Amino acid sequence: MPSSTFASLDPLFRPRSVAVAGVSSRVDPSGSGGGLGFLRAIREMGFPTLHECRHGCTSGDCATGCLYPVNPKADEIDGLRCYPSLTAIPGDVDYVISSVPAVAVPGLLEEAAAKQVRAVHLFTAGFSETGEEDRADLERQILERARAAGIRLIGPNCMGLYVPAAGLSFMAGFPTEPGTVGMLSQSGANAGELVRFAGARGVRFSKVISYGNAADLNESELLEYLGDDPETEVVLAYIEGVRDGRRFAAALRRAAARKPVVILKGGRTEAGSRAARSHTGSLAGSIEVFDALCRQAGALRVASMDELVDLAVGFRFVPPPRGAGVAVVGAGGGVSVLAADAFAAEGLELPPMPEDVQAAFRAFVPIAGTSVRNPIDTTSVFRPEEFVRTIELAARPASIAALVYHTSFSWGSRSAGDQDQRAADLARNLATARNRIGKPLLISVHPSLSGEGLVTTGQFVERCVAEGFAIFDGIDGAARALAGVRRWQQTRVDRGLA
């Protein structure tokens, strides 16, 4: 049964109309957007503007929803009619994005109260995170006023919402189509990086919430929300501080019992903890306590953005393997040794191929310069007619629960055209092989350095993503993703949940 948190927050993330207050007509020097950035990002998502209202109304008072720039010094911004204040907007306003200076926020809140706004996202920074008492006071006053008016606050000092199904976004270039991965993040840039990097590997999102100083909406409530959200199947988090350890622990247990939860904890060291205090005013707490919480709940903690992206790809695209045995397939002796080390270091196993499978390999794999034990290091992966057979044979033993194929497009003396053809053939052959083996098949493509290699690698990634593959930048990423999925599944089995 959904919690009361879910019922109370869900409408906030689906506003019919949005006002952006403090939109200037130029982008600031950091290029991060500010008010204008939000306006443009939201239009890019297809959120209807007043001009585009399908009902032809001009009041903004219709169910389609509208997007309103607010700036007393402009009549029009980016071709949209601009309003001098929230109260000057003719129709209802559900959601306000504040890009005004901190001192102007109390006034904005009064207008929001008058308009019966549901939620205000404070992109505005310069509050408790500065460490200055008067600014922390201002944050407390704003919170009190918002509570009195029944307005929920997101932030301050954050990027707010990316909810593609509701047409909301906070950065240009995010995917417009919705998906099943949700994220709460105390850093907007980290959330943006996750969306872009995981997005390039096929991950799509239900809700991504950048919540900054967490004056009102905080990590516990957002975790309760995403844990209960039926549109969210995987929960990611970048968290710097936890305000209410007991509530957070309960939310984590509840969420992780239902879906994979992967957390990047910022401030895991003393220096990082000090940085977190300057960033969002967070008290980072002990990483040992945090790890214990994660262990008890069955959530996974990672140590870098790269790992968070890899786990997102893993949980989205890798079906849980039915064992710890992995077959590693590709060409190259040294890379095979390092691949074996990487999987074993993550607690997975590389069972040797049985004698009969080795013999079957030897029917078409020469003995010199190859190995058919496991890792399977064989040039047969370069011969299209033998590629599918190689994967099939490697998948045959009962001891093998998952496979990893590794490749790259930077070696050798092939022409660019040959490489493109190889990339296309490979993606098709991989899909054929996967359909035959009925076991998870992960792909690792080592980054290329040459210009053509980069282009080919990009095309290969796109083709593999289109085929629904989990694809990784290298063996280490594939290993930690598979290990994460395996660990999650084992925890569920251990707890009688699966």
Under rule CB under 8 A, which residues in 57-116 are in contact with its own copies? 101-102
Q: Does 477 contact its own copies by CB under 8 A?
A: no
Residues 250-269 that bind its own copies (CB under 8 A): 264, 266-269
Q: Which is nearer to its own copies, 42 or 89 (CB)?
A: 42
* Site pattern 420..459 for its own copies (x: CB under 8 A): --------------------------x--xx---x-----
Q: Does 333 contact its own copies by CB under 8 A?
A: yes
Q: Report how far residue 262's alpha carbon sits from residue 299's, in angstroms, rounded to the nearest whole number.
A: 6
Tell me the Ramachandran region of residue 116: left when phi exceeds 0, alpha when psi lies from -120 to 50, beta otherwise. Answer: left
Q: Does 406 contact its own copies by CB under 8 A?
A: no
> Among residues 253, 414, 487, 492, which is the contact residue for its own copies, using CB under 8 A?
414
- Contacts with its own copies by CB under 8 A: the residue count is 93
CA distances for 115 relative to 2, 93, 102, angstroms = 29, 7, 20
In whole angstroms, the minimum distance from the beta carbon of 379 to its own copies comes to 4
Q: Does 245 contact its own copies by CB under 8 A?
A: no
In whole angstroms, the minimum distance from the beta carbon of 424 to its own copies comes to 16
Reported in sequence order, the residue ranges of 31-84 that DSSP labels E, i.e. its strands, are 67-70, 76-77, 80-81
Beta partners for residue 209, in sequence order: 161, 184
Q: Report how far residue 330's alpha carbon sits from residue 96's, in angstroms, rounded to the nearest whole number.
A: 52
Question: Beta 376-377 vs 371-372: how paired, if at all?
Answer: antiparallel
Residues 107-166 that bind its own copies (CB under 8 A): 124-126, 129-130, 132, 135, 157
CA distances for 371 relative to 294, 334, 339, 378, 407, angstroms = 40, 12, 14, 6, 16
DSSP string, 128-144: GGG--HHHHHHHHHHHH
Beta partners for residue 388, in sequence order: none
Q: Does 334 contact its own copies by CB under 8 A?
A: yes
**Amino acid sitting at position 471:** I
> Among residues 99, 128, 186, 218, which is the contact residue for its own copies, using CB under 8 A?
186
> Among residues 275, 360, 416, 424, which is the contact residue for its own copies, using CB under 8 A?
275
Q: Does 197 contact its own copies by CB under 8 A?
A: yes
* Site pattern 350..389 for its own copies (x: CB under 8 A): x-x-------------xxxx-x-x-x-x-x--xx------
From 181, 469, 148, 465, select the one nearest 309 (Cα to Cα): 181
Q: Does 271 contact its own copies by CB under 8 A?
A: yes
